[in-house]
């Protein structure tokens, strides 16, 4: 690709409406543009990355024995009535009508459609198991689309569905798909964890999510430092000891952590919600400003009997408030004087930060407590049950090691659905005994477009993207100095360009009349892993420079040895 014939669309400035780094960089690197809330156009550099993800996913699905099909985005409502999801799915399901006033939906997922297909095509156990997948656009009318393609309304998903004569067979395919997912995320160079997941509204029994670890992740996951045990926070909480639940019901402790963001920051970003049944609040923090701040935040329309502030070592501090007036007096503050926090703000918002409990010391934070958060957006207001579920440092439920908590981006989700859909849609086959039997089913999703954002969250620096070669929009860049004046430079640049094309290397040849600084900045921003820099002075020495994006190192390479060096 020649830059003059390409749509580079890079920008210098960080767009102000993009909160997380992948969203900022995807805009700056000219990968996506917003059309409307949750709707994005993929520009050529973005599409290149998306297609690279897609390719890896497709290859591994084929390898796992899944067969590619393509189902319509628009689905008749009848099928959704059959499974009962027309009513259950809620406003995330976009419902539309055709000219005959017949109801349809824009597919948020395809269990109904694939089951409709299979019940018509498959009649005998001999045709099972069957594993079908597609890579296709989904639509979900997300309550809060955000972070660019991380949580968009229209997005690209790989969804696979397997059909079996019994659960034993389903379990085998589930394992094959689990392994395929691990290979996919390994090949994409992501740092990820499979975690035990709640089966939620889709139904079924066993389920795992695959999370890319990143600070900007919306989910909180716990995992053990002594084994492979990992779970999403809801599940982990269900396994937590009973007495901790009882203890948390009446008394709430907000506990500071030395390494997390300050409470103030969290409150500012996400709001702070505390269950109404909590009557006593204990704020633990060594920093008095934080104690006061949290105390203020939770007053509002809460009916707490008591707020106490304590140091982390448990020693009560003099801050004991009875009324808001007293708090104000104690801190000498007017509304709004505590940075962005305003006393008049509603203190409970729907998507929440939830908190704490008096769990023991964490193994990896040396005898200090922590401040825990529950990011699950699918919960409305957190209940007490949601508030006491963070168990960093607790023994792992699997008996090996201790739990730690990290934030994750859900990039994949697999389910053993069992008979739920096949039963309601009457999808049956004949067994070897000649009897009819409801099929049992698995489903397997990957957020293809979300992976692009997640990969950038993990692979960037201050200059731009630093995606692994398998994902970067271009594998090789060519920057000629003085291209339009030096015949020698032009000739060599063109030679390299042709050679790269012949070798099927994704190459970007910057043939613009731009200053070198601009060309370097663009190559770094879109994260081209290797850039060949050609100038008269180096040609005199019989070399060119090759710059490696990941290490930042530059090497002089003999003119004829460049491609060997890259290989």
Task: Return d(Cα 181, Cα 56) in angstroms, integer.
Answer: 10
Residue number with the smallest Cβ distance to Mg ion: 413
446: β partners: 158, 412
Of residues 28 and 140, the one with the C-beta less far from ligand ATP: 140
Window contacting Mg ion (CB under 5 A); options: 101-109, 253-261, 315-323, 406-414: 406-414
Contact 442, 173 (CB under 8 A): yes
Q: What is the DSSP string of 459-528?
A: SEETTEE---TTTSS-SEEEEETTTTT-HHHHHHHHHHHHHHHHTT--EEE--SS--HHHHHHHHHHTT-
Of residues 292 and 450, the one with the C-beta less far from ligand ATP: 450
Torsion of CA 36, 38, 39, 43, to 10 degrees: 110
Tell which residue, 257, 310, 255, has the closest CA to residue 288: 310
Measure Cα distances from 133 to 50, 71, 157 in Å. 18, 9, 10
Total binding residues for ligand ATP by CB under 6 A? Answer: 15
Check binding of 445 to ligand ATP (CB under 6 A): yes
Of residues 445 and 529, the one with the C-beta less far from Mg ion: 445
**β strands within 17-147, DSSP E:** 32-36, 39-42, 67-68, 74-76, 94-97, 103-106, 130-139
Contact 393, 403 (CB under 8 A): yes
| Binding string, residues 409-438; x marks residues near Mg ion by CB under 5 A | -x--x-------------------------
The CB-of-556 to ligand ATP minimum distance in angstroms stands at 44
Window contacting Mg ion (CB under 5 A); options: 325-333, 403-411, 461-469, 547-555: 403-411
Tell which residue, 200, 170, 255, 195, has the closest CA to residue 443: 170
The CB-of-197 to Mg ion minimum distance in angstroms stands at 7
- Residue 357's binding partner out of ligand ATP, Mg ion, none, with CB under 5 to 8 Å set by partner kind: none
The CB-of-539 to ligand ATP minimum distance in angstroms stands at 48
Window contacting ligand ATP (CB under 6 A); options: 43-51, 279-287, 446-454, 511-519: 446-454
The CB-of-215 to ligand ATP minimum distance in angstroms stands at 16
- Residue 496's binding partner out of ligand ATP, Mg ion, none, with CB under 5 to 8 Å set by partner kind: none
- Lookup: tokens for 111: 């269990």
Residue number with the smallest Cβ distance to ligand ATP: 447
The CB-of-377 to Mg ion minimum distance in angstroms stands at 8
Determine if the peptide bond prior to 129 is cis (ω within 30°). Answer: yes
- Residue 110's binding partner out of Mg ion, ligand ATP, none, with CB under 5 to 8 Å set by partner kind: none
Q: What share of the chain is helix, strand, coil (3-state, %, to 5)?
A: 35, 25, 40
CA 559 to chain centre: 43
Window contacting ligand ATP (CB under 6 A); options: 19-27, 67-75, 79-87, 408-416: 408-416
Check binding of 208 to Mg ion (CB under 5 A): no
The CB-of-210 to Mg ion minimum distance in angstroms stands at 10
Among 413, 460, 466, 549, binds ligand ATP (CB under 6 A): 413
Task: Return d(Cα 106, Cα 381) in angstroms, integer.
Answer: 28
- Lookup: tokens for 34: 């917003």
309: β partners: 283
Window contacting Mg ion (CB under 5 A); options: 222-230, 313-321, 408-416, 417-425: 408-416
Check binding of 282 to ligand ATP (CB under 6 A): no
320 Cβ contact list (under 8 Å, min separation 6): 306, 307, 308, 309
The CB-of-449 to ligand ATP minimum distance in angstroms stands at 6
The CB-of-142 to Mg ion minimum distance in angstroms stands at 7
Window contacting Mg ion (CB under 5 A); options: 30-38, 55-63, 78-86, 405-413: 405-413
Check binding of 85 to ligand ATP (CB under 6 A): no
| Binding string, residues 140-179; x marks residues near ligand ATP by CB under 6 A | x-x--------xx--x-x----------------------
554 Cβ contact list (under 8 Å, min separation 6): 533, 545, 546, 547, 548
- Residue 151's binding partner out of ligand ATP, Mg ion, none, with CB under 5 to 8 Å set by partner kind: ligand ATP
Window contacting ligand ATP (CB under 6 A); options: 276-284, 442-450, 486-494, 510-518: 442-450
CA neighbours closer than 13 Å in the CB half-sphere of residue 129: 23
CA 118 to chain centre: 31
Of residues 411 and 508, the one with the C-beta less far from ligand ATP: 411
Interface with ligand ATP (CB under 6 A): 109, 140, 142, 151-152, 155, 157, 410-413, 445, 447, 449-450
Interface with Mg ion (CB under 5 A): 410, 413
């Amino acid at each position: 690709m020649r830059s003059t014939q390409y749509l580079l669309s890079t920008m210098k400035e960080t767009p102000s409406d993009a909160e997380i780094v992948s969203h900022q960089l995807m805009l700056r690197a000219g990968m996506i543009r917003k059309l409307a809330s949750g709707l994005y156009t993929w520009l050529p550099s973005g599409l290149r990355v998306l297609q690279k993800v897609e390719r890896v996913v497709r290859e591994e699905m084929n390898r796992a024995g899944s067969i590619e099909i393509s189902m319509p985005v628009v689905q008749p409502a009848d099928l959704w009535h059959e499974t009962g999801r027309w009513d259950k799915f809620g406003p995330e399901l976009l419902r539309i009508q055709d000219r005959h006033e017949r109801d349809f939906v824009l597919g948020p997922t395809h269990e109904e459609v694939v089951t409709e297909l299979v019940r018509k095509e498959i009649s005998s156990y001999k045709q099972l198991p069957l594993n079908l997948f597609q890579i296709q656009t989904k639509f979900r009318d997300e309550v809060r689309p955000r972070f660019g393609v991380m949580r968009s309304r229209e997005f690209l998903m790989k969804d696979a569905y397997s059909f079996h004569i019994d659960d034993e067979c389903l379990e085998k395919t589930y394992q094959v798909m689990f392994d395929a997912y691990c290979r996919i995320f390994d090949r994409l160079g992501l740092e990820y964890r499979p975690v035990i997941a709640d089966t939620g509204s889709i139904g079924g029994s066993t389920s795992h999510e695959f999370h890319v670890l990143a600070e900007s992740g919306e989910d909180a996951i716990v995992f053990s430092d002594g084994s492979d045990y990992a779970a999403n926070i809801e599940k982990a909480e269900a396994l937590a000891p009973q007495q901790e639940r009882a203890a948390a019901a009446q008394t709430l402790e907000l506990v500071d952590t030395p390494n997390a963001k300050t409470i103030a920051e969290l409150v500012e970003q996400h709001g702070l919600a505390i269950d109404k049944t909590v009557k006593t609040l204990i704020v633990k923090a060594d920093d008095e400003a934080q104690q006061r701040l949290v105390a203020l935040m939770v007053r509002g329309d809460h009916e707490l009997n008591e707020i106490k502030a304590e140091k982390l070592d448990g020693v009560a501090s003099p801050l004991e408030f009875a009324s808001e007036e007293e708090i104000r007096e104690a801190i000498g503050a007017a509304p709004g004087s505590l940075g962005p926090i305003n006393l008049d703000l509603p203190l409970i918002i729907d998507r929440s930060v939830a908190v704490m409990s008096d769990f023991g010391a964490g193994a990896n934070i040396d005898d200090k407590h922590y401040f825990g958060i529950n990011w699950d957006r699918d919960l409305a207001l957190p209940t007490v049950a949601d508030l006491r579920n963070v168990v960093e440092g607790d023994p792992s439920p699997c008996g090996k090691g201790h739990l730690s908590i990290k934030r994750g981006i859900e990039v994949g989700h697999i389910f053993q659905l069992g008979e739920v859909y096949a039963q309601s849609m009457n999808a049956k086959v004949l067994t070897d005994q000649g009897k009819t039997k409801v099929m049992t089913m698995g489903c397997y999703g990957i957020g293809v477009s979300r992976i692009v954002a997640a990969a950038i969250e993990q692979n960037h620096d201050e200059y731009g993207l630093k995606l692994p070669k398998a994902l970067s929009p271009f594998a090789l860049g060519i920057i000629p100095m003085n291209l339009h004046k030096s015949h020698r430079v032009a000739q060599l640049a063109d030679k390299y360009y042709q050679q790269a094309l012949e070798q099927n290397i994704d190459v970007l040849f910057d043939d613009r009349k731009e200053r070198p600084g601009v060309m370097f900045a663009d190559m770094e921003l879109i994260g081209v892993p290797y850039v060949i820099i050609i100038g008269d002075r180096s040609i005199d020495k019989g070399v060119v420079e090759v710059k490696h994006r990941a290490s930042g190192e530059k090497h002089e390479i003999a003119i004829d040895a460049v491609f060997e060096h890259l290989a």
